[in-house]
Chains A and B, each alone.
Chain A
């Protein structure tokens, strides 16, 4: 027998509140953006097919921005996940300190970037001509400081909610800490880790403001991101290029998400 979609009208109502709002505020504009990606300019609005995509994929600065986005993103993501995991476990191990730490770890994310940037500028002496590793270091440390706190706290909260009996039983059976972590704790926190990873990616894609404040409108090629490219195209009124970049980014995000989904589903954890 087919399971009914909702058990009650209340559950259905929840959906009817969310769907129109998301459609109107986000999906509809996104659809319009995808439309702009196939237009000549935002002024002419003549259909040109995949011409904008061809332009982007042959543009040196688009490729540079996308490449930096991937490389700096991968570094930030890896370090971010490691920091979150480490910090999460530290907090979980010390519940009293965790209560104190929640506020402290959330603060960097909550305060405005423009306030914190001054300190980074003084410490790293950032400027628009700053090349190489120093620039990346400044950006990545700022990113880690701002955005790893929330993931660590969520991780610690979920770890705390795991039944203690499970861990005690495993310890009684002779499992060591590492085994307990890999075989009991990790499978149970994969959902939160997935959410943390999405949060990290989302935060990283919003890092343009911080980068702009640190390095100016046109930074050195080492920290020139795709977001810089998109922002400049917007100001130069090439919205068709912004839209095409958004389409490519969305495609990449979908592919990445589907790959992650298959991997986690194969492991038996639904996402």
Chain B
């Protein structure tokens, strides 16, 4: 009798049910019994096929994977990878990579150690190019062509315009060439040829900002050069049994390099490049074909599939005792050259303190950590432009330190111009200004000549501005071609008054004055006569670059550098006012509660030092140091890109630097949403509310911000 027979099944089920009902047992007993006895057996043939097919597929995938062009590079705050024709970047806080560029002809690439800018060589129809790209997808440099004679093996970059390639050429294989990132015509490629070293047969090399390490695998020769002039620092040494090299650090005048041994598992070695001594760091990697890469603090072992396998903190590998860290929050706003120089100077005095850079976007995190008094925030800058958390308020609360109480800082101040007003309160300096963007006015010279207006040189008053306004109104009434008086930051005059009449430190504000009302009425008059063209009304091509003035606008108010022409200072209400001109910019503070007051004070001293300050962008910030010669010669490539400096603008800018007030726009001070503030202003300009009402509202908002 077969179990699959339906009648028999029913009979058996009935019998079990009867018994089950009487016993009051499990309701599903019959189904369970029947299922177990009628289970089907599966055929085995499919089972044999599946692993065979899987193995075959795996083999195909692995082969394809091995043949794929893959590369990677470690940046300061992220990791670049190139695979399958796609260039991807993964920031240190990101969980996955994102595609930045699609280009299936990239031959070599490397990222700057101290930033995330990637330099890469790509092939096109005309040959090869050296290009750069940031994680945001923008080119950092214009790019240049690479000579087709190179058969490029490797590219290494330390910072912008300083890089080396390892290439085979018609004159030999394994040759190192120094290349400029900017333009070959300015700085031709230079081979690493010097007395005592033959530029041939180099199998691996590494560079950092100042040093080039080159290794010849066949003979075991290891040489160290200074990066900018390619001169040997000392005689080459012989080191056998290493496969790849990475720049290490300098200690007591000796350069150390990291290397992987050629054994399996590979040892991570530290090599004294002066004596050739190999020191085992104790770390191993079992994977074959690895190489090394690093950022500022961390050394990575990269597998042959260009994945980061393991990482080590360089300070630990060096055997250096690190007592503690000093953290600079949002220090990347500061120019890298200044920051690195300051860190080097700091480490000379405190070699066992490691300086870390940390990025924090949200102000509440900074506030919480400061108030909690925890470590991890020694020097900091706010990333947002939230004016309602101003340096003055922090200083008043005791959150940040009085920098003018640090004798070393006081000692260097005489070397500076008097640029400290925007970062002072109560006669004390509370912060280090990172930049000073002065609001300036650019004049359309042709229009000025047409209306017969002579550009004021130096200080001029609001009354003179009103006379100019009347002249333009008269012109517009008698001519067909209409002139706009002011475009860009059209509320400059109001901002100027607000900034000079709000005392955040004392917590006072006074806007309900005749002077302010008069300025509002002036603004309204300009609007009534269509003399204003604000940023919001500019066309996209007009608004992109600050220096483009619309053809029919006389003056554009904005931020200008010292290479611009026809720049004048804005008018002032009172020539006797000592600090009438406005500047915006970031500021670095010292946490008053830092567990290491001496170290933080010294770090700030290093940042203040003229040696560091002289590395600033002179074009953007002007001449902070009294002695201009300390800034050194400007990079000719930069001059070529940006143009020559304008001596008149330079003098005007540098003079204004000593008479600045930090811009305290009320809408930003009271954190008014931009749209709301614009609506209110436009209501006043259209006459829906009076200037007195506007002043009353602004006074109320500011009082609320300051009076809490």
Contact = CB atoms under 8 A, between A and B. Distances in A.
B672, B673, B704, B707, most chain A CB atoms within 10 A: B704
Contacts of A232: 388, 705, 708
A129 B673 CA distance: 10
A237 B380 CA distance: 15
Interface in A222-242: 224, 229, 232-239
Nearest to B390: A236
Contacts of B673: 127-128, 216
A34 interface: no
A165 to B, nearest CB: 34
B469 interface: no
Nearest to B364: A235
A113 interface: no
Contact of B364 (A59, A62, A216, A234): A234
B670 A217 contact: yes
Interface in A197-236: 216-218, 221, 224, 229, 232-236
Contacts of A217: 388, 670-671
Interface string A38-68: 0001111000000000000001111000000
A236 B393 contact: yes
Given A61-B707, A129-B680, A237-B370, A218 B398 contact: no
Interface string B369-405: 0111100000000000010110001100111000000
A233 B672 contact: no
Contacts of B364: 234-235
B672 A218 contact: yes
Contacts of A221: 700, 704
B389 A224 contact: no
A62 B386 CA distance: 22
A60 B592 CA distance: 29
A224 B700 CA distance: 13
Interface string B695-708: 00100110011011
Contacts of A127: 673, 675-676, 679
Interface in B464-487: none
A248 to B, nearest CB: 15
Contact of B371 (A42, A128, A218, A229): A42
B431 to A, nearest CB: 15
Contacts of A60: 707
A128 B672 CA distance: 7
Nearest to A216: B673
B363 A43 contact: no
B593 A43 contact: yes
B538 interface: no
A234 B363 CA distance: 10
Nearest to B363: A235
Contacts of B406: none
Nearest to B676: A127
Nearest to A60: B707
Contacts of A128: 672-673, 676
A43 B397 contact: yes
Contacts of B399: 41, 43, 237
Nearest to B702: A218
A237 B367 contact: yes
A236 B389 contact: yes
A59 B707 CA distance: 8
Given A43-B592, A218-B671, A218-B672, A239 B371 contact: yes
A42 B367 CA distance: 11
B373 A43 contact: yes
Nearest to B592: A43
A235 B676 contact: no
Nearest to B399: A237
A198 B656 CA distance: 60
Contact of B397 (A59, A62, A129, A238): A238
A42 B394 CA distance: 12
A235 B382 CA distance: 12
A233 B593 contact: no
B672 to A, nearest CB: 5
B398 A43 contact: yes
Contact of A41 (B367, B398, B671, B676): B398
Contacts of A216: 671-673, 676
A214 to B, nearest CB: 11
Contact of B705 (A41, A218, A238): A218
Contacts of A233: 708
Contacts of B670: 217-218
Interface in A155-192: none
Contacts of B592: 43
18 contacts: A42-B370, A43-B371, A43-B593, A44-B398, A59-B707, A59-B708, A61-B704, A61-B707, A62-B708, A217-B388, A218-B672, A233-B708, A234-B364, A235-B363, A235-B386, A236-B708, A237-B370, A237-B389
Given A235-B367, A235-B386, 11 more contacts: A42-B370, A43-B371, A43-B373, A43-B399, A61-B708, A127-B675, A127-B676, A128-B676, A217-B671, A237-B371, A238-B397
Interface of A: 41-44, 59-62, 127-129, 216-218, 221, 224, 229, 232-239
Nearest 7 CB-CB pairs, A to B? A217-B671, A42-B371, A127-B676, A43-B398, A128-B676, A239-B371, A218-B670
Interface of B: 363-364, 367, 370-373, 386, 388-389, 393-394, 397-399, 592-593, 670-673, 675-676, 679-680, 697, 700-701, 704-705, 707-708
